[in-house]
Copies of this chain bind each other. A is one copy, B any other.
């Protein structure tokens, strides 16, 4: 498998990009950068996510090997999510973008 080329319509990288930059994908990566979190904690941490979309987003990222799901077989269920090594790398890039936006917000907002 060779390197991707996002500017080409058919590039599979676009799928990964879609997951990582999806509305909640970004925020999940940011939230998990702080360490392992349970589903409910993750939900509380990220303002505004619905259960359904959080689950979906976690599935996408898990499918890309960026997030790892660890289920403890107990009742009531106890499930944790954490970044894989690959996920940590990706999250760092997302973090850089997020930080820049948050910091540049004052300057950006002047145009509004």
In the bound complex, residues from chain B placing their C-beta under 8 Å from that of A65 are 107-108, 110-111
Measured between alpha carbons, how far is A1 from B64 in the docked complex, in Å?
37
Main secondary structure of the interface of A (DSSP, over half): helix
Of B10, B12, B26, B86, which one neighbours A21 at CB under 8 angstroms?
B26
Asked whether A94 is an interface residue with its Cβ less than 8 Å from the other chain, the reply is: yes
Interface centre among A7, A18, A89 (most CB of B within 10 A): A7
Binding site for B on A (CB under 8 A): 1-13, 16-18, 20-21, 23, 26-27, 30-31, 45-48, 63-66, 86, 89-90, 93-94, 96-98, 100-112
**Residue on B nearest A94 in the bound complex, by CB:** B97
**Assuming the A-B contacts A7-B30, A100-B89, are A13 and B105 also in contact, with contact meaning beta carbons closer than 8 angstroms in the complex?**
yes
